[in-house]
Amino acid sequence: MSTAFRAMFSLLTPNESSFQKVEDVPPYVQQATPFFVGLIFLELAVGVLKTGTTVVTISDGLTSISAGMISRLPSVLMRGCELTAYMYVWDRFHLVELPWDSAWTWWLTFLGVDFCYYWLHRFAHEVAILWAAHQVHHSSEYYNLTTALRQSLTQQFTSWIFYLPMALALPPSVFAVHIQLNLLYQFWIHTELIRDLGPLEWVFNTPKHHRVHHGRNHYCIDKNYGGILIIWDRLFGTFAEETDKVVYGLVFPIKTFEILYVQFHYYSYLWRKSKTYKAISNKLSTFIKGPSWKPGKSRLGDHVDNPKVTGKEVPHDPSWPLPLQVYVVIHFLLVLQIYHDLFENKMMLSQLTILGMTNYILLTLTALGFIIDQRPTAAVLEMLRCVVMVTLQKYGYMKPLMPLLAVPTEAFVSLSLLYWAVQSFLQLLSIKRKTN
């Protein structure tokens, strides 16, 4: 427990986190999951005591956690792209083999991973097709610990490229440690409750620096890319101090909680944008130049078309009935249980079962997003999902949160199906009346 907690702040020593084989490297991210939950609740409690209001809403918080869940689904079927590609290059092309049990190797890998992450992160902002993946992380108009979990499903399929130079000399087992520590460190800096850390601000990435990175104010855009260290931004001219009140989110907020739209909408936007140009060079530039690029502008474009930020912007938070909020939270906890069981038992499940459970998780998170958005089609989609849920329950793929809740859970699932069936029927009647 001590190791998992300290790993979140990159406070492990070389002696306790050096391993000869990749298979021996602990799953630090998985071990830290209880601390993710605990710190989120701690932030909620401190936020209420300090500000009198909650720092996270149900709609935004669940959307962020859902994005994090989706981003990890590929790992059910395969090892992470970054580590897989790294091991491939190491096995075939490494030039020297630094000792895995040397403190010098450990610290060099620490710096190397953070340096490569800086450039990965910077390219993700400066190349439109990479931004299409990374924008998911910036889509929340709130800034709290759940925002750290709002990760992209597709970014992992390109991020591995930036770490490959390290595979020419640094052992995969050491890389496997630091790629996790670098990710874990970036969790706790997503908060507004920590204001200033004094001299540490000169060297380390902190909540103060990372708030700037998440801002859509003009002075915040494309700044403070660092992972653990802020020194790279200071060296390469991308550093900015926090001054005016930071307004969070995308320059053009998406104003939806539908998780698949959050993940993929920018790809379709780029496709539509490219179709407006006739020249092949402009079509290609749409994808490989900056998100703000237009013909006749520099590679990164400019921000003259951006909406002006006044500091009085209010995050998108539509009102929706309290009973529906309770309903969504309960069903989210139920799918979280299935998600947990999927990862716990993936080695014992058939590929068909894994595929079915993965699709059900995606269906559930999408349907809950429809309910939060109060879309007209939410009733039909949720009714169909409840049919699938009843089937899973019948064949033992859906477990209650606790054994004592088995009967209440079954009753709740059945009532959910009945309710949405009635809602769909009433909706159909209403459509027919309007047609007549």
Which amino acid type is present at position 144? N
Residue 327 lies in a domain: yes
Boundary-marking domain end, from 218, 236, 254: 236
Domain presence at residue 264? no
Report if residue 309 sits inside a domain: no
pLDDT recorded at residue 435: 82
One domain for residues 8 and 143: yes
Helices (H), 247-321: 259-275, 280-288
Q: How confident is the model at residue 28 (pLDDT cuts 50, 70, 90)?
A: very high
Q: Do 35 and 149 share a domain, yes or no?
A: yes
In a shared domain, residues 82 and 176: yes
Q: Do 203 and 326 have their domain in common?
A: no
The answer to whether 230 and 204 are in contact (CB under 8 A) is yes
Query: Residue 204 has what pLDDT?
Result: 98
Domains in the chain: how many in total? 2
With the C-alpha atoms ordered 181, 182, 185, 191, is the resulting torsion angle positive or negative? Answer: negative
- What is the rounded CA–CA span in Å between residue 258 and residue 367? 8
Q: Which residues pair with 248 in a beta bridge?
A: 215
Tell me how crowded residue 167 is: count the other CB atoms within 10 A of its CB.
21
pTM for the whole thing? 0.94
| Cross-strand pairs, 229 | 204
Hey, what's the torsion of the CAs at 335, 338, 343, 349, to 10 degrees? -140
**What residues contact 380, with CB distance under 8 A and at least 6 apart?**
420, 424, 427
213 and 349 in a single domain? The answer is no
Are 230 and 365 in the same domain?
no
What pLDDT score does 70 carry? 96
Range of the domain at 431: 322-435
Helices (H) and strands (E) in the chain, counts: 18, 0
Judged against a pLDDT cut of 90, whether residue 1 lies above it is answered with no
Indicate whether 271 belongs to any domain: no
Instruction: Give residue-wise pLDDT tens across range 352-403.
Output: 889 999 999 999 999 999 999 999 999 999 999 999 999 988 887 777 777 8
Contacts of 72 (CB under 8 A, 6+ apart): 343
Q: How far apart are alpha carbons 257 and 140 in whole angstroms?
A: 9
Residue 316 lies in a domain: no
pLDDT at residue 349, rounded to an integer:
87
Domain-located, residue 274 = no
326 with 232, same domain: the answer is no
pLDDT at 432: 83
Both 222 and 360 in one domain: the answer is no
**Segments in 280-405 forming alpha helices (H):** 280-288, 322-344, 351-373, 378-394
Same-domain check for residues 331 and 211 = no
Express each pLDDT in 187-200 by its tens digit: 999 999 999 999 99
Domain boundary among the residues 236, 258, 286 is at 236
Instruction: Tell me if 170 is assigned to some domain.
Output: yes
pLDDT digits (tens, 9 = 90+) for 273-321: 999 999 999 999 999 999 999 999 999 998 888 899 999 999 999 999 9
φ/ψ of 32, rounded to 5, equals: -85, -5
Domain-terminating residue out of 208, 236, 264 = 236
CA–CA dist 111, 159 (Å, integer)? 17
Show Cβ contacts of residue 38 under 8 Å, excluding neighbours closer than 6 positions: none
Domain-located, residue 70: yes
- The answer on 341 and 231 residing in a single domain is no
